[in-house]
Amino acid sequence: MSFLRLIPGPKEGSFIFGNLREVLLMKGNPSVEHEQWLQHCGPTLSLKGFFGMRLLMTIDTKALTHILFNAYDYPKPPITRTLPTEVIGQGIIIAEGNEHRRQRKVMSPAFSHSHILQFHDIFLEKATQLRQIWTSECVKSSGKAQIDTVSYLSRLTLDIMALTGFNFKTDSLNAENTPNKVHRAICELRTAKEIQTMRIFSAICPILRWIPNEGRARIQATHETLAHDLGRQLLAEAKTGDTNESSVNDLFSLLARANGSPDVPIDQRMSEADVLSQIPALLLAGHETRHVEIVDYSQHTKKLREELLATSTDTPTVDEMNALPYLDWVIRETLRVNPPVPPLARVAGKDNVIPLRQPFKSDTRGRLHDSIPIMKGELIIISIMSLWGDDAAEFRPERWEKIPETVDTIPGAWSNTLSFLGGPRSCIGYRFSIAQMKVILFVLIREFESELAVPCEEIISKSTVVQWPTLKSDPAHGPQMPIFVTVHHKEE
Protein backbone atom coordinates (compact mmCIF):
# COMPACT_ATOMS: atom_id res chain seq x y z
CA MET A 1 0.00 0.00 0.00
CA SER A 2 1.23 3.48 -0.83
CA PHE A 3 2.46 5.49 2.15
CA LEU A 4 0.84 8.55 0.50
CA ARG A 5 -2.54 7.30 1.76
CA LEU A 6 -1.45 8.28 5.29
CA ILE A 7 -0.75 11.90 4.37
CA PRO A 8 -3.55 14.46 4.85
CA GLY A 9 -5.00 16.00 1.70
CA PRO A 10 -7.82 18.17 0.32
CA LYS A 11 -11.31 17.07 -0.54
CA GLU A 12 -11.25 14.51 -3.32
CA GLY A 13 -12.37 15.61 -6.78
CA SER A 14 -14.02 13.53 -9.47
CA PHE A 15 -13.41 9.79 -9.80
CA ILE A 16 -11.66 10.18 -13.17
CA PHE A 17 -9.57 13.32 -12.61
CA GLY A 18 -9.31 13.48 -8.83
CA ASN A 19 -7.67 16.82 -7.94
CA LEU A 20 -5.87 17.11 -11.30
CA ARG A 21 -8.32 19.62 -12.74
CA GLU A 22 -6.75 22.19 -10.41
CA VAL A 23 -3.21 20.97 -11.14
CA LEU A 24 -3.11 20.17 -14.87
CA LEU A 25 -6.16 21.70 -16.50
CA MET A 26 -5.50 25.04 -14.82
CA LYS A 27 -9.12 25.72 -13.91
CA GLY A 28 -9.45 29.07 -12.19
CA ASN A 29 -6.32 30.29 -10.42
CA PRO A 30 -4.28 27.22 -9.45
CA SER A 31 -2.00 29.11 -7.07
CA VAL A 32 -5.02 30.20 -5.01
CA GLU A 33 -6.35 26.64 -4.93
CA HIS A 34 -2.95 25.27 -3.96
CA GLU A 35 -2.55 27.89 -1.24
CA GLN A 36 -5.89 26.89 0.28
CA TRP A 37 -4.85 23.25 0.30
CA LEU A 38 -1.49 24.03 1.88
CA GLN A 39 -2.99 26.27 4.56
CA HIS A 40 -5.43 23.53 5.51
CA CYS A 41 -3.11 20.51 5.29
CA GLY A 42 0.41 21.87 5.76
CA PRO A 43 3.41 22.00 3.38
CA THR A 44 3.14 18.32 2.46
CA LEU A 45 -0.12 16.73 1.34
CA SER A 46 -1.59 13.90 -0.68
CA LEU A 47 -3.76 14.44 -3.78
CA LYS A 48 -5.91 12.15 -5.86
CA GLY A 49 -4.94 11.61 -9.49
CA PHE A 50 -6.52 9.68 -12.34
CA PHE A 51 -8.91 6.97 -11.11
CA GLY A 52 -7.90 7.36 -7.46
CA MET A 53 -4.12 7.22 -7.98
CA ARG A 54 -2.26 8.98 -5.14
CA LEU A 55 0.07 11.95 -5.74
CA LEU A 56 2.39 13.86 -3.42
CA MET A 57 2.35 17.67 -3.30
CA THR A 58 5.02 19.42 -1.25
CA ILE A 59 6.65 22.79 -0.74
CA ASP A 60 8.82 21.53 2.14
CA THR A 61 12.24 22.98 1.29
CA LYS A 62 14.21 19.97 2.57
CA ALA A 63 12.08 17.72 0.38
CA LEU A 64 12.55 20.06 -2.59
CA THR A 65 16.32 20.09 -2.13
CA HIS A 66 16.34 16.29 -2.12
CA ILE A 67 14.13 16.05 -5.24
CA LEU A 68 15.85 18.76 -7.30
CA PHE A 69 19.45 17.86 -6.44
CA ASN A 70 18.79 14.17 -7.08
CA ALA A 71 17.05 15.14 -10.31
CA TYR A 72 17.91 11.99 -12.24
CA ASP A 73 16.09 9.91 -9.61
CA TYR A 74 13.01 12.11 -10.13
CA PRO A 75 12.54 12.59 -13.89
CA LYS A 76 9.69 14.34 -15.65
CA PRO A 77 6.63 12.08 -15.85
CA PRO A 78 5.45 10.83 -19.26
CA ILE A 79 2.41 13.12 -19.09
CA THR A 80 4.69 16.17 -19.32
CA ARG A 81 7.18 14.70 -21.81
CA THR A 82 5.22 13.01 -24.61
CA LEU A 83 3.87 16.02 -26.49
CA PRO A 84 6.78 18.40 -25.81
CA THR A 85 8.99 15.67 -27.26
CA GLU A 86 6.95 15.81 -30.47
CA VAL A 87 7.36 19.59 -30.51
CA ILE A 88 11.04 20.01 -29.63
CA GLY A 89 12.53 16.53 -29.92
CA GLN A 90 15.02 14.94 -27.53
CA GLY A 91 16.84 18.18 -26.70
CA ILE A 92 18.20 19.19 -23.33
CA ILE A 93 14.74 20.19 -22.06
CA ILE A 94 13.42 16.64 -22.55
CA ALA A 95 16.51 14.45 -22.07
CA GLU A 96 16.90 12.56 -18.80
CA GLY A 97 19.67 10.81 -16.89
CA ASN A 98 23.06 10.31 -18.52
CA GLU A 99 21.81 11.73 -21.83
CA HIS A 100 20.85 15.00 -20.14
CA ARG A 101 24.14 15.08 -18.22
CA ARG A 102 26.10 14.63 -21.47
CA GLN A 103 24.16 17.31 -23.38
CA ARG A 104 24.42 19.82 -20.55
CA LYS A 105 28.18 19.34 -20.20
CA VAL A 106 28.68 20.18 -23.89
CA MET A 107 26.21 23.08 -23.94
CA SER A 108 27.13 24.83 -20.68
CA PRO A 109 30.07 26.88 -22.06
CA ALA A 110 27.73 28.56 -24.59
CA PHE A 111 25.54 29.83 -21.73
CA SER A 112 28.31 31.15 -19.50
CA HIS A 113 28.05 34.62 -17.98
CA SER A 114 30.79 36.01 -20.23
CA HIS A 115 29.07 34.84 -23.42
CA ILE A 116 25.66 36.18 -22.42
CA LEU A 117 27.22 39.62 -21.84
CA GLN A 118 28.11 39.73 -25.54
CA PHE A 119 24.41 39.77 -26.47
CA HIS A 120 23.65 43.00 -24.58
CA ASP A 121 23.85 45.21 -27.68
CA ILE A 122 21.47 42.93 -29.59
CA PHE A 123 18.97 43.11 -26.72
CA LEU A 124 19.19 46.92 -26.80
CA GLU A 125 18.93 47.16 -30.59
CA LYS A 126 15.79 45.03 -30.86
CA ALA A 127 14.10 46.58 -27.79
CA THR A 128 14.77 50.04 -29.24
CA GLN A 129 13.21 48.93 -32.53
CA LEU A 130 10.06 47.90 -30.65
CA ARG A 131 10.03 51.24 -28.81
CA GLN A 132 10.08 53.06 -32.14
CA ILE A 133 7.22 50.92 -33.46
CA TRP A 134 5.06 51.61 -30.40
CA THR A 135 5.85 55.33 -30.57
CA SER A 136 4.67 55.36 -34.19
CA GLU A 137 1.48 53.55 -33.17
CA CYS A 138 0.83 56.19 -30.50
CA VAL A 139 1.30 58.99 -33.05
CA LYS A 140 -1.13 57.32 -35.47
CA SER A 141 -3.69 56.86 -32.66
CA SER A 142 -3.64 60.47 -31.42
CA GLY A 143 -1.38 59.64 -28.50
CA LYS A 144 -2.99 56.47 -27.12
CA ALA A 145 -2.56 53.15 -28.91
CA GLN A 146 -4.00 49.72 -28.18
CA ILE A 147 -1.24 47.12 -28.28
CA ASP A 148 -1.31 43.33 -27.96
CA THR A 149 1.77 42.78 -25.84
CA VAL A 150 1.85 39.04 -26.47
CA SER A 151 2.09 39.53 -30.22
CA TYR A 152 4.73 42.25 -30.10
CA LEU A 153 6.85 40.78 -27.32
CA SER A 154 6.75 37.34 -28.92
CA ARG A 155 8.06 38.80 -32.17
CA LEU A 156 10.69 40.77 -30.28
CA THR A 157 12.00 37.77 -28.36
CA LEU A 158 11.89 35.60 -31.48
CA ASP A 159 14.07 38.13 -33.33
CA ILE A 160 16.46 38.22 -30.36
CA MET A 161 16.62 34.43 -30.03
CA ALA A 162 17.19 33.94 -33.76
CA LEU A 163 20.07 36.43 -33.79
CA THR A 164 21.75 35.41 -30.55
CA GLY A 165 21.02 31.72 -30.91
CA PHE A 166 21.74 31.15 -34.57
CA ASN A 167 22.94 34.39 -36.21
CA PHE A 168 19.70 34.12 -38.19
CA LYS A 169 17.45 37.09 -39.02
CA THR A 170 13.71 36.55 -38.68
CA ASP A 171 12.92 40.30 -38.69
CA SER A 172 9.43 39.48 -37.41
CA LEU A 173 9.03 42.92 -35.77
CA ASN A 174 8.91 44.46 -39.24
CA ALA A 175 5.19 44.52 -40.06
CA GLU A 176 5.91 44.96 -43.77
CA ASN A 177 7.54 41.54 -43.94
CA THR A 178 5.59 38.37 -44.56
CA PRO A 179 6.20 36.10 -41.55
CA ASN A 180 8.92 33.58 -42.40
CA LYS A 181 8.54 29.87 -41.79
CA VAL A 182 10.26 30.01 -38.39
CA HIS A 183 7.89 32.72 -37.16
CA ARG A 184 4.87 30.84 -38.52
CA ALA A 185 6.03 27.61 -36.87
CA ILE A 186 6.43 29.25 -33.46
CA CYS A 187 3.00 30.90 -33.75
CA GLU A 188 1.53 27.52 -34.60
CA LEU A 189 2.81 26.11 -31.32
CA ARG A 190 1.51 29.04 -29.31
CA THR A 191 -2.00 28.74 -30.70
CA ALA A 192 -2.20 24.93 -30.72
CA LYS A 193 -5.14 24.47 -28.34
CA GLU A 194 -4.87 20.70 -28.88
CA ILE A 195 -1.58 20.43 -26.98
CA GLN A 196 -3.08 20.59 -23.49
CA THR A 197 -6.12 18.45 -24.30
CA MET A 198 -4.05 15.75 -25.98
CA ARG A 199 -1.57 15.75 -23.10
CA ILE A 200 -4.32 14.99 -20.58
CA PHE A 201 -6.21 12.33 -22.52
CA SER A 202 -3.06 10.64 -23.85
CA ALA A 203 -2.01 10.19 -20.22
CA ILE A 204 -5.33 8.53 -19.39
CA CYS A 205 -5.30 6.33 -22.48
CA PRO A 206 -1.79 6.03 -24.04
CA ILE A 207 -3.14 4.46 -27.23
CA LEU A 208 -4.55 7.90 -28.13
CA ARG A 209 -0.98 9.03 -28.85
CA TRP A 210 -1.01 6.88 -31.98
CA ILE A 211 -4.36 8.01 -33.38
CA PRO A 212 -3.81 10.57 -36.19
CA ASN A 213 -5.46 13.95 -35.73
CA GLU A 214 -5.13 17.40 -37.22
CA GLY A 215 -3.58 19.01 -34.14
CA ARG A 216 -0.86 16.39 -33.81
CA ALA A 217 -0.11 16.61 -37.54
CA ARG A 218 0.40 20.38 -37.27
CA ILE A 219 2.71 19.92 -34.29
CA GLN A 220 4.77 17.34 -36.16
CA ALA A 221 4.99 19.63 -39.20
CA THR A 222 6.19 22.42 -36.92
CA HIS A 223 8.94 20.21 -35.51
CA GLU A 224 9.95 19.27 -39.06
CA THR A 225 10.30 22.97 -39.90
CA LEU A 226 12.37 23.86 -36.85
CA ALA A 227 14.56 20.79 -36.39
CA HIS A 228 15.10 19.66 -39.95
CA ASP A 229 14.58 22.53 -42.40
CA LEU A 230 16.18 25.28 -40.31
CA GLY A 231 18.40 22.89 -38.36
CA ARG A 232 20.10 21.25 -41.30
CA GLN A 233 20.62 24.63 -42.95
CA LEU A 234 22.39 25.94 -39.84
CA LEU A 235 24.35 22.74 -39.35
CA ALA A 236 25.55 22.84 -42.97
CA GLU A 237 26.67 26.44 -42.53
CA ALA A 238 28.51 25.50 -39.34
CA LYS A 239 30.30 22.66 -41.13
CA THR A 240 31.29 24.69 -44.21
CA GLY A 241 32.32 27.71 -42.15
CA ASP A 242 35.27 28.03 -39.82
CA THR A 243 33.92 26.72 -36.52
CA ASN A 244 37.06 28.00 -34.82
CA GLU A 245 36.28 31.56 -35.87
CA SER A 246 35.99 33.27 -32.50
CA SER A 247 34.08 36.23 -33.94
CA VAL A 248 31.02 33.99 -34.55
CA ASN A 249 29.48 33.91 -31.10
CA ASP A 250 25.85 32.90 -31.51
CA LEU A 251 24.82 30.06 -29.21
CA PHE A 252 24.66 27.47 -31.99
CA SER A 253 28.20 28.27 -33.20
CA LEU A 254 29.50 28.16 -29.64
CA LEU A 255 27.78 24.80 -29.19
CA ALA A 256 29.33 23.49 -32.42
CA ARG A 257 32.81 24.59 -31.31
CA ALA A 258 32.36 23.15 -27.82
CA ASN A 259 31.09 19.84 -29.22
CA GLY A 260 34.17 19.53 -31.44
CA SER A 261 36.61 20.56 -28.76
CA PRO A 262 39.47 18.12 -28.04
CA ASP A 263 38.57 18.56 -24.36
CA VAL A 264 35.34 16.63 -24.99
CA PRO A 265 35.93 12.86 -25.38
CA ILE A 266 34.51 11.47 -28.62
CA ASP A 267 32.08 9.22 -26.75
CA GLN A 268 30.75 12.26 -24.85
CA ARG A 269 30.11 14.41 -27.93
CA MET A 270 26.63 15.09 -29.22
CA SER A 271 25.53 13.37 -32.41
CA GLU A 272 24.12 15.31 -35.35
CA ALA A 273 20.63 14.33 -34.21
CA ASP A 274 21.41 15.63 -30.70
CA VAL A 275 22.62 18.95 -32.11
CA LEU A 276 19.58 19.33 -34.37
CA SER A 277 17.25 18.64 -31.45
CA GLN A 278 18.61 21.68 -29.59
CA ILE A 279 17.36 24.11 -32.26
CA PRO A 280 13.59 23.90 -31.60
CA ALA A 281 14.33 23.62 -27.86
CA LEU A 282 16.37 26.85 -27.86
CA LEU A 283 13.93 28.74 -30.09
CA LEU A 284 10.89 27.72 -28.10
CA ALA A 285 12.39 28.09 -24.62
CA GLY A 286 14.22 31.32 -25.40
CA HIS A 287 11.27 32.97 -27.08
CA GLU A 288 8.25 31.48 -25.31
CA THR A 289 9.43 31.27 -21.71
CA ARG A 290 7.51 34.26 -20.38
CA HIS A 291 6.12 37.50 -21.72
CA VAL A 292 7.60 40.50 -19.97
CA GLU A 293 5.19 42.19 -17.58
CA ILE A 294 4.82 45.84 -18.57
CA VAL A 295 1.24 46.51 -17.51
CA ASP A 296 1.04 49.40 -15.09
CA TYR A 297 1.25 48.23 -11.47
CA SER A 298 0.53 51.83 -10.39
CA GLN A 299 3.06 52.84 -7.74
CA HIS A 300 5.46 50.02 -8.62
CA THR A 301 5.74 51.05 -12.27
CA LYS A 302 6.00 54.72 -11.32
CA LYS A 303 8.81 53.96 -8.89
CA LEU A 304 10.59 51.83 -11.48
CA ARG A 305 10.26 54.52 -14.16
CA GLU A 306 11.75 57.11 -11.81
CA GLU A 307 14.78 54.88 -11.26
CA LEU A 308 15.20 54.24 -14.99
CA LEU A 309 14.84 57.91 -15.96
CA ALA A 310 17.51 58.82 -13.43
CA THR A 311 19.94 56.96 -15.69
CA SER A 312 21.50 59.49 -18.05
CA THR A 313 21.57 57.29 -21.15
CA ASP A 314 19.12 55.41 -23.37
CA THR A 315 21.75 52.74 -24.00
CA PRO A 316 23.12 51.69 -20.60
CA THR A 317 25.99 49.27 -20.23
CA VAL A 318 25.58 45.96 -18.46
CA ASP A 319 27.18 47.43 -15.32
CA GLU A 320 24.80 50.41 -15.40
CA MET A 321 21.83 48.04 -15.71
CA ASN A 322 23.04 45.92 -12.82
CA ALA A 323 23.31 49.04 -10.63
CA LEU A 324 19.50 49.53 -10.72
CA PRO A 325 18.14 47.77 -7.61
CA TYR A 326 14.42 48.34 -8.19
CA LEU A 327 14.64 47.01 -11.74
CA ASP A 328 16.27 43.90 -10.30
CA TRP A 329 13.48 43.54 -7.72
CA VAL A 330 10.79 43.90 -10.39
CA ILE A 331 12.41 41.18 -12.49
CA ARG A 332 12.62 38.86 -9.48
CA GLU A 333 9.02 39.56 -8.51
CA THR A 334 7.74 39.10 -12.07
CA LEU A 335 9.37 35.68 -12.30
CA ARG A 336 8.18 34.74 -8.81
CA VAL A 337 4.54 35.67 -9.46
CA ASN A 338 4.51 34.39 -13.05
CA PRO A 339 6.72 31.30 -13.31
CA PRO A 340 6.55 29.76 -16.79
CA VAL A 341 5.30 26.41 -15.46
CA PRO A 342 3.72 27.04 -12.02
CA PRO A 343 3.03 23.42 -10.96
CA LEU A 344 6.21 21.39 -11.42
CA ALA A 345 5.70 17.63 -11.88
CA ARG A 346 8.20 14.86 -11.20
CA VAL A 347 7.92 11.08 -10.84
CA ALA A 348 9.89 8.77 -8.57
CA GLY A 349 12.26 6.80 -10.80
CA LYS A 350 12.85 4.24 -8.03
CA ASP A 351 11.71 3.49 -4.49
CA ASN A 352 13.14 6.24 -2.32
CA VAL A 353 12.78 8.18 0.93
CA ILE A 354 12.12 11.94 0.84
CA PRO A 355 13.29 13.83 3.98
CA LEU A 356 11.15 16.63 5.45
CA ARG A 357 12.05 19.84 7.26
CA GLN A 358 8.56 20.05 8.79
CA PRO A 359 7.14 16.68 9.96
CA PHE A 360 3.48 15.87 9.39
CA LYS A 361 1.00 13.90 11.50
CA SER A 362 -0.73 11.03 9.70
CA ASP A 363 -4.52 10.95 9.69
CA THR A 364 -4.89 7.32 10.62
CA ARG A 365 -2.10 6.73 13.15
CA GLY A 366 -1.55 10.17 14.62
CA ARG A 367 2.23 9.70 14.43
CA LEU A 368 4.75 12.34 13.37
CA HIS A 369 6.73 11.53 10.24
CA ASP A 370 9.93 13.35 9.23
CA SER A 371 10.30 11.53 5.91
CA ILE A 372 8.14 10.00 3.19
CA PRO A 373 8.77 6.56 1.67
CA ILE A 374 7.82 6.93 -1.98
CA MET A 375 7.33 4.14 -4.48
CA LYS A 376 8.67 4.01 -8.02
CA GLY A 377 6.17 5.61 -10.40
CA GLU A 378 4.45 7.85 -7.84
CA LEU A 379 3.91 11.42 -9.01
CA ILE A 380 5.17 14.52 -7.15
CA ILE A 381 3.73 18.03 -7.64
CA ILE A 382 5.57 21.19 -6.55
CA SER A 383 3.50 24.37 -6.38
CA ILE A 384 6.25 26.90 -7.11
CA MET A 385 4.38 30.08 -6.27
CA SER A 386 2.93 28.76 -3.00
CA LEU A 387 6.43 28.59 -1.50
CA TRP A 388 6.10 32.27 -0.59
CA GLY A 389 3.19 31.86 1.81
CA ASP A 390 0.10 33.94 2.50
CA ASP A 391 0.89 36.90 0.24
CA ALA A 392 2.37 34.82 -2.59
CA ALA A 393 -0.16 36.16 -5.13
CA GLU A 394 0.62 39.81 -4.33
CA PHE A 395 3.00 41.62 -6.70
CA ARG A 396 5.32 43.43 -4.27
CA PRO A 397 8.90 44.06 -5.48
CA GLU A 398 9.87 45.56 -2.11
CA ARG A 399 9.83 42.08 -0.56
CA TRP A 400 13.25 41.53 -2.18
CA GLU A 401 14.89 44.23 -0.06
CA LYS A 402 14.92 41.72 2.78
CA ILE A 403 13.55 38.28 2.04
CA PRO A 404 11.94 36.34 4.91
CA GLU A 405 13.81 33.49 6.56
CA THR A 406 11.03 31.10 5.55
CA VAL A 407 12.09 31.28 1.87
CA ASP A 408 15.83 31.58 2.41
CA THR A 409 16.20 27.81 2.03
CA ILE A 410 14.36 27.51 -1.32
CA PRO A 411 16.86 25.52 -3.44
CA GLY A 412 16.53 27.57 -6.63
CA ALA A 413 19.21 28.27 -9.23
CA TRP A 414 18.49 31.99 -8.91
CA SER A 415 17.13 34.31 -6.27
CA ASN A 416 15.23 32.08 -3.83
CA THR A 417 12.65 31.09 -6.43
CA LEU A 418 12.10 27.95 -8.47
CA SER A 419 11.25 29.87 -11.65
CA PHE A 420 14.44 28.42 -13.15
CA LEU A 421 14.34 25.30 -10.96
CA GLY A 422 17.49 24.15 -9.17
CA GLY A 423 20.07 21.38 -9.13
CA PRO A 424 21.43 19.62 -12.24
CA ARG A 425 18.19 20.25 -14.16
CA SER A 426 18.07 24.00 -13.51
CA CYS A 427 17.42 26.15 -16.59
CA ILE A 428 20.66 26.37 -18.57
CA GLY A 429 19.62 29.70 -20.10
CA TYR A 430 18.49 31.59 -17.00
CA ARG A 431 21.24 34.23 -17.32
CA PHE A 432 20.11 34.92 -20.88
CA SER A 433 16.47 35.29 -19.81
CA ILE A 434 17.26 37.70 -16.96
CA ALA A 435 19.57 39.87 -19.07
CA GLN A 436 17.00 40.07 -21.86
CA MET A 437 14.15 40.96 -19.50
CA LYS A 438 16.16 43.74 -17.87
CA VAL A 439 16.88 45.43 -21.20
CA ILE A 440 13.31 45.13 -22.48
CA LEU A 441 11.84 46.56 -19.28
CA PHE A 442 14.42 49.35 -19.21
CA VAL A 443 13.60 50.48 -22.74
CA LEU A 444 9.78 50.16 -22.59
CA ILE A 445 8.98 51.28 -19.04
CA ARG A 446 11.25 54.29 -19.44
CA GLU A 447 9.34 55.38 -22.56
CA PHE A 448 5.69 54.33 -22.05
CA GLU A 449 2.85 54.39 -19.56
CA SER A 450 0.38 51.53 -19.89
CA GLU A 451 -2.91 50.14 -18.64
CA LEU A 452 -4.98 47.08 -19.42
CA ALA A 453 -7.40 47.55 -22.32
CA VAL A 454 -9.81 45.01 -20.78
CA PRO A 455 -11.02 44.39 -17.22
CA CYS A 456 -8.44 42.57 -15.11
CA GLU A 457 -10.75 39.59 -14.60
CA GLU A 458 -10.75 39.06 -18.38
CA ILE A 459 -7.11 37.93 -18.27
CA ILE A 460 -6.71 34.22 -17.58
CA SER A 461 -3.80 31.82 -17.98
CA LYS A 462 -3.83 29.03 -20.54
CA SER A 463 -1.17 26.40 -20.95
CA THR A 464 0.25 25.03 -24.19
CA VAL A 465 3.90 24.19 -23.65
CA VAL A 466 4.14 27.03 -21.11
CA GLN A 467 1.68 29.52 -19.58
CA TRP A 468 0.26 32.37 -21.65
CA PRO A 469 -2.35 35.07 -20.94
CA THR A 470 -5.65 34.72 -22.79
CA LEU A 471 -8.94 36.61 -22.79
CA LYS A 472 -11.74 34.77 -21.03
CA SER A 473 -14.23 36.15 -23.57
CA ASP A 474 -12.12 35.22 -26.61
CA PRO A 475 -10.18 32.00 -25.95
CA ALA A 476 -10.34 30.98 -29.62
CA HIS A 477 -8.02 33.87 -30.49
CA GLY A 478 -5.22 32.27 -28.52
CA PRO A 479 -2.68 34.07 -26.32
CA GLN A 480 -3.14 37.83 -26.06
CA MET A 481 -2.94 40.70 -23.58
CA PRO A 482 -4.28 43.99 -24.97
CA ILE A 483 -3.08 47.18 -23.29
CA PHE A 484 -3.25 50.92 -23.94
CA VAL A 485 0.11 52.67 -24.17
CA THR A 486 0.98 56.36 -24.18
CA VAL A 487 4.37 58.00 -24.45
CA HIS A 488 5.55 59.18 -21.04
CA HIS A 489 6.21 62.93 -21.03
CA LYS A 490 9.46 63.46 -19.22
CA GLU A 491 9.78 66.47 -16.97
CA GLU A 492 12.44 68.95 -17.98
Rounded to an integer, the average pLDDT of 101-113 is 91
Q: Which stretch, 121-125, 154-158, 239-243, 290-294, has highest mean pLDDT?
A: 121-125
Q: Which residue has the higher pLDDT, 348 or 251?
A: 348
Rounded CA separation 1/102 (Å): 37
User: Average per-residue pLDDT in the chain?
Assistant: 82
Rounded to an integer, the average pLDDT of 298-326 is 93
Residue 121 has pLDDT above 90, yes or no: yes
Q: What phi and psi, each to the nearest 5 degrees, are found at residue 85?
A: -65, -40
Residue 24 has what pLDDT?
60
Residue 235 has pLDDT above 80, yes or no: no
pTM assigned to the model: 0.87
Q: Which residue has the higher pLDDT, 33 or 272?
A: 272
Q: 3-7, 11-15, 123-127, 380-384: which range is least confident on average?
A: 11-15
* CA distance to 67, 129, 402, 418, 419, per residue, from 411 (Å): 10, 38, 17, 7, 11
Rounded CA separation 11/47 (Å): 9
What are the structural domains of the chain?
1-88+343-383 (no CATH), 89-342+384-487 (1.10.630.10)
Count Cα atoms within 13 angstroms, Cβ side, for 26.
18
Residue 346 has what pLDDT?
94
427 is in an annotated binding site: yes
Could you give the percent of the chain with pLDDT greater than 70?
79
Residue 177 has what pLDDT?
64
Q: How confident is the model at residue 380 (pLDDT cuts 50, 70, 90)?
A: very high
Rounded to an integer, the average pLDDT of 301-330 is 95
Residue 40 has pLDDT above 70, yes or no: yes
Rounded to an integer, the average pLDDT of 284-303 is 66
Q: How confident is the model at residue 424 (pLDDT cuts 50, 70, 90)?
A: very high
Rounded CA separation 419/430 (Å): 9
Q: 154-168, 245-259, 410-424: which range is least confident on average?
A: 245-259
Rounded to an integer, the average pLDDT of 222-227 is 70
User: How many CB atoms are located within 10 Å of the residue 203 CB?
Assistant: 20
Residue 288 has pLDDT above 50, yes or no: yes
Residue 51 has what pLDDT?
74
Residue 389 has pLDDT above 90, yes or no: no
Rounded CA separation 325/75 (Å): 36
Nearest to 387, CA basis, from 424, 435, 335, 331? 335
Rounded CA separation 214/127 (Å): 36
User: How many CB atoms are located within 10 Å of the residue 185 CB?
Assistant: 23
Convert 247-265 to b/e letters by CB count within 10 Å (16 or more is b).
ebebbbbbbbbbbeeeebe
